[in-house]
Amino acid sequence: MSSHREAPEISQDPVADSTDVYAFVSPDRPGMVTLIANYIPLQEPAGGPNFYEFGDDVLYDINIDNTGDGRPDIIYQFRFTTRTRNEDTFLYNTGPITSLRSGNWNRRQFYTVTRIQHGKAQVLGSGLACPPCNIGPLSTPNYKALAAEAIHTLGDIKVFAGQRAEGFYVDLGSIFDLADLRPFQTLHDQYGFHAFSKNAPGANGTNRLNVHSIAIQVPNWQLTRTRNPSADDPRAVIGVWTSACRQKVRLWDADNGRNVDSGPFRQVSRLGNPLVNEVLIPLGKKDRWNTLAPAEDKYFAEYFAHPGLAGLLPVLYPGVFPKLAGLVKSGQPRADLEAILLTGIPHGIIPGFQNSMGSTLADMLRLNTAIPPAHSPHILGLIGGDAAGFPNGRRVFDDVVTIELRAIAGVTYPLINKSYQPDGAAGLITDGLTPSSVSNGYQHSFPYLGTPYGGYYNPS
């Protein structure tokens, strides 16, 4: 998945697990950039009696680099506080929750959002209410209205923090079964596994599950180094990643039955481009990668230049990727993947497009804020001819799994070696899913991810 359970340590700490990050020019408000950070992966909607919530002990950051050094120039920081009205009941709610002020809602969360720039902190809003989780028709009878009430306007800025439907679609069952992609099963049949099932459609392993989203919509000019740069100006580009931090020391207070945290905050999770820590970084380095800033990604550059999956595909699909096999055998570094994921794509590679801020190797979503939203978006983003999509930022519906599979298989290598002709299968490889694989779909306006699935209609 994009970053769900992607490293051994963070898989044990879902409240701090950055699962997805999105950055795009808002299609309904083109002068605004929307940033979304998701946490707490794979939520079963019927998650009571202790429904999912953000961690009061976690520091959640959305980081923006607008100078190209892989370090944050602007941080939007979110801190949460949980309040329980009645500690003598086991119930999350004692009746229908019809508004964010409902007395029936027993366990509520509020948050403060702070903008930090050049070391100076400005509180943008505090005491902002999250919506409840979507429990069911008796407890949350008009959930869309509750969620809309939790969209807060802070001057030019909108913010939302709460449960959403998981919008990232991926065939987990096939990808992590030795990349046994269901649409490609006839090409992966040397062991005779699939005599019973040929070319099956993909199965969305995240469908009908929820996440917790932190979303903020900000005017473009508040993120870039200069107002209104043109699309060919590197100053129009921002680098975005999300992170979560915990205090350095945690002790269990057995007398009071709670954890006690102390010391400085330390990063335990981060995410820029999807699938990087999950698929490119080796198992022994994943936890370390989670603790570092993107500026330190030069230490991991070899795994982008020589991705392990590129070497595995010709082995797993014998005879299907001969040109990729030759490329891997040659030892040539994958400068195309380094550009896409670590530096951004400079001028001259793709006519009329760039999203690079310089040569610093740093895993960030790079968004050219001067490129307007597409009138007819293509889920394959840039390789589908849509410059407003991944890897120019990332929209909620972009098919990042197919895009990255095809890139690793060699589709993007001609960007830096025009004589290279990728295997025919490289342009077809996919896990067989599309946005229609997401049952609750997406919204056309902020916060864009769909209404979370309710527990009554989606029992675990």
Structure confidence by residue, pLDDT tens digits, 67-121 = 999 999 999 999 999 999 999 999 999 999 999 999 999 999 999 999 999 889 9
Pairing label, strands 258-271, 74-84: unpaired
Least confident of 10-14, 218-222, 402-406: 10-14
The pLDDT of residue 193? 45
Give the per-residue pLDDT at 166.
Answer: 96
Q: Which residues pair with 256 in a beta bridge?
A: none
| Residue 32 pLDDT greater than 60, yes or no | yes
pLDDT for the residue numbered 256: 72
DSSP state letters, 288-344: HHHHS-GGGGGGGHHHHHS-HHHHHHHHHSTTT-HHHHHHHHHT---HHHHIIIII-
Dihedral sign from CA coordinates of 378, 380, 381, 385: negative
Predicted local confidence at residue 190, as pLDDT: 52
Average pLDDT, integer, range 311-338: 94
* C-alpha–C-alpha distance, residues 348 and 351, integer Å: 6
Res 192 pLDDT > 50: no
CB 412 within 8 A of CB 383: yes
> In the predicted model, what is the mean pLDDT of residues 36-59?
94
CA–CA separation, 140 vs 90, rounded Å? 17
Whole-number average pLDDT of the chain: 92
How large is the average pLDDT for residues 146-166? 97
Q: How confident is the model at residue 1 (pLDDT cuts 50, 70, 90)?
A: very low
Burial class (CB in 10 A: 0-12, 13-18, 19+), 44: middle
Of 379, 341, 160, 123, the residue nearest 239 (C-alpha): 341
Torsions phi, psi for 153 (to 5 deg): -105, 125
Q: Tell me what pLDDT residue 188 has.
A: 59
- Reading the block at residue 26, the tokens are 């808002």
Tens digit of each residue's pLDDT (9 = 90 or more) over 238-277: 999 999 999 877 777 677 777 777 788 899 999 999 989 8
The pLDDT of residue 195 is 41
Q: List, for residues 328-375, the tens digit of each pLDDT value.
A: 999 999 999 999 999 999 998 999 999 999 999 999 999 999 999 999
4 alpha-carbon distance from chain centroid: 9
The C-alpha atoms of residue 15 and residue 19 are separated, in whole angstroms, by 10
CB 394 within 8 A of CB 386: no
Q: Are 129 and 159 in contact (CB under 8 A)?
A: no
Model pLDDT, residue 265: 87
